[in-house]
Amino acid sequence: MRSIQVDRLEKIFQVKKKQEGLAGSLKSLFRPQYANKAAVEGITFTVEQGETVAFLGPNGAGKSTTIKMLTGILHPSSGTAEVLGCCPWTERSKLAYRIGSVFGQKSQLWYHLPPIDTFELMSRIYELRREDYKQRRDNLIERFELGPYLNTPVRKLSLGERMRCEIAASLIHRPQALFLDEPTIGLDAVVKQRIRELILEMNREEGTTIFLTSHDAGDVEKLCDRAIVINHGGLVFNGQVEIMKQQFLTHKTVQLVLEDDPGNLVLEGVAVLSSSGSRLTLSVDTGLTTIESVLSALMASHRIVDVTVQDPPMEDIITRMYGTFVAKEAVT
């Protein structure tokens, strides 16, 4: 079953052109000039029910604009989209009952009231039956381990505690699709991990479609099967996270311990990331050379005590991926 279907979706904003100087400012007061700025340029993709998809791209790539169109907040300039069989912008309120959303930088909880009150409000807004609500609420409280803070005003919760409440609040009406915008922003590693586990659990047990934007590589790697990457409003990658890693994984990290100090190491396609005496960390460009030839070249002159070969962290892959976009633009 299709959960999200997007076909040539486009959003063009009209931006007032600011002219230089005071005279320019005055002129644009009376005769403003507008420039068209395409935030999203004809993207097409589909997401199946129950999939976990990372929606990636550098700042200003059009991620938020796309999410806003998919949740019905923004009307597109052209193109169509269907979320759970509804057209988001014409059937916004109908769709609203079936989707959930978490924006890491915005809170939906009532600041001075304990989270339980927001849950109660959500149950009213989503018109849940009392029995259903109570059962669901108790289940979420147990799963998210919210018991201790249920009756504490939100303003007194830590960010991690609050975020768990935010996500629980967005799940109370059993949404079929959950839109998450930077859900782990600002959290420490342990809390991040816990939040990812919880999201994944909901996905596995209830088949909730997860559509996530994040700048956190861990979110992508741990949470998502597939990645959709956009840049400058256009689709640049749509496939399995594993494949994305391979495609943009042109470097491997090799950590070595030698018996002696190799001195100044010069090999084609190899960059020394760090070295302290006989310990070396190398970055090997697999497009120019192979791990094998690097190792045999080293073994010819040194004795190797220990070696580990690693993929660089997701972080670097994303950085490299965004970097390639910039490089490509420079060429064209």
Partner 1 sequence: MISLSKPAKYVFIGKITLRNQLAYVFDFMVRSVFLLLILYIFMQLWQSTFAGEGTSTINGYTFKQMMWYLVFTESMVLATPSLSTRIEEEVKSGDVAFKLIRPVSFLAFHYAEYMSEVAIRYAINLILGSAIGLLLVGPLPVGVGLAWLPIMAIGGFTVNFMLGMLVALSAFWVEETRGLEFVYNKILFTIGGMLMPLELFPESLQRIGQWLPFQTVVYFPARTAVGMHLGEITGAIATQWLWVVLIGLMVWLLYRKGVRKLNVNGG
Instruction: Tell me if 73 contacts partner 1 by CB under 8 A.
Output: yes
Region of residue 247 (phi > 0: left; psi between -120 and 50: alpha; otherwise: beta)? alpha
Of positions 84, 96, 280, 318, contacts partner 1 by CB under 8 A: 96
Spatial distance between the Cα atoms of 71 and 153, rounded to a whole number of angstroms: 29
Instruction: Tell me if 36 contacts partner 1 by CB under 8 A.
Output: no
Q: How far is CA 304 from the centre of its chain?
A: 40
Stretch that binds partner 1, among 18-26, 68-76, 138-146, 287-295 (CB under 8 A): 68-76
In the bound complex, what is the minimum distance in angstroms from residue 84's beta carbon to partner 1?
14
Of positions 43, 68, 163, 224, contacts partner 1 by CB under 8 A: 68
C-beta of 176 vs 280, nearer to partner 1: 176
Which regions of the chain does DSSP assign to beta strands (E)? 2-17, 33-48, 52-56, 78-83, 99-103, 177-181, 209-213, 226-231, 234-240, 251-258, 270-276, 279-285, 304-310
Q: Which of 56, 52, 45 is nearest to 214 (CA)?
A: 56
In the bound complex, what is the minimum distance in angstroms from residue 313's beta carbon to partner 1?
26
Site size for partner 1 (CB under 8 A): 35
Stretch that binds partner 1, among 88-96, 199-207, 216-224, 243-251 (CB under 8 A): 88-96
In the bound complex, what is the minimum distance in angstroms from residue 129's beta carbon to partner 1?
5
Quote the DSSP letter at residue 278. Answer: T
Instruction: Tell me if 9 contacts partner 1 by CB under 8 A.
Output: no
Instruction: Tell me if 214 contacts partner 1 by CB under 8 A.
Output: no
Q: What residues between 123 and 142 interact with partner 1 by CB under 8 A?
A: 124-129, 132
CB 177 within 8 A of CB 83: yes
Instruction: Tell me if 121 contacts partner 1 by CB under 8 A.
Output: yes
Place of tokens 């594993």: 242
CA distances to 66, 82, 99 from 44, in Å: 11, 11, 21
Instruction: Tell me if 232 contacts partner 1 by CB under 8 A.
Output: no
Per DSSP, the three-state class of 67 is: helix
Instruction: Tell me if 106 contacts partner 1 by CB under 8 A.
Output: yes
Which amino acid, 5? Q
Which chain residues interact with partner 1 by CB under 8 A? 13, 63-65, 67-68, 71-75, 92-93, 96-97, 99, 101, 103, 105-106, 108, 110-113, 117, 120-121, 124-129, 132
